[in-house]
Amino acid sequence: MRKSIVLVVVLALALTCAVVFAQRGPQVPPATGAMLDLANNLAAAINKQDAAALQKMVAADAVYLDEDGHAPPVARWITALTTGTPAKEIAISAHHSQMWDTGGWVSFNYDLKENFQGQPKVVKGTASITVKKDGADWKIVLIHGALMQKVAGLTQ
């Protein structure tokens, strides 16, 4: 009798684990190829304060959405990232992407070093970028920037 109970408990635990892992789905692979190149080129343009290179990466109809759902002009996003003294410095990590024939997306975490009110600060967040194929180039059509936020009792 005792062996039967142990067997039922082990089978129930195994079934529960199988169901939980099956619901998670496959993980999105790390960014590679053109999508990783795009993310690295974006970071390089910001680090070099190269507004022209950043502008060349975005489509004419590109939209930027901030973490609050506002849609400021993309030109304002470019200016904010490529101006200031000292230059802003961005480092990207944990990148993922997917690509199709004429479109794709890339996302990554970032640490953006900048000065705020004369003091050095590091802003952390996640960027999600959607792109479309334009001839031989990939053009950014949607940028979403989300800041990492800490909420007492939930994320700390």
Q: Specify the pLDDT at position 149.
A: 74
Q: Specify the pLDDT at position 25.
A: 62
Q: Specify the pLDDT at position 67.
A: 82
Q: Specify the pLDDT at position 73.
A: 92
Q: Specify the pLDDT at position 15.
A: 45
In what helix (H) or strand (E) does residue 3 lie, and over which residues does it extend? Answer: helix 2-24
**Structural domain tally of the chain?**
1
Residue 154 lies in a domain: no
Q: What is the pLDDT along the chain (156 residues), one digit of tens a residue?
A: 555 453 334 334 444 444 444 456 668 889 999 999 999 999 999 999 999 999 999 999 999 998 888 899 999 999 999 999 899 999 999 999 999 999 999 999 999 999 988 899 999 999 999 999 999 999 999 999 988 877 666 655
> Can you tell me the distance from the alpha carbon of 30 to that of 116, in angstroms, rounded to the nearest whole number?
32
> Can you tell me the distance from the alpha carbon of 73 to that of 64, in angstroms, rounded to the nearest whole number?
7
Residue 6 lies in a domain: no
The answer to whether 145 and 81 are in contact (CB under 8 A) is no
Residue 62 lies in a domain: yes
What's 128's domain CATH number?
A: 3.10.450.50
Residue 94 lies in a domain: yes
What the block records as the tokens of 30 is: 């790390």
Give the domain range for residue 63.
Answer: 33-147
Residues 6+ apart with CB under 8 A from 97: 28, 29, 30, 31, 32, 35, 36, 39, 104, 105, 106, 107
Residue 101 lies in a domain: yes
pTM: 0.79
Residue 92 lies in a domain: yes
Residue 4 lies in a domain: no
**Amino acid at site 47:** N
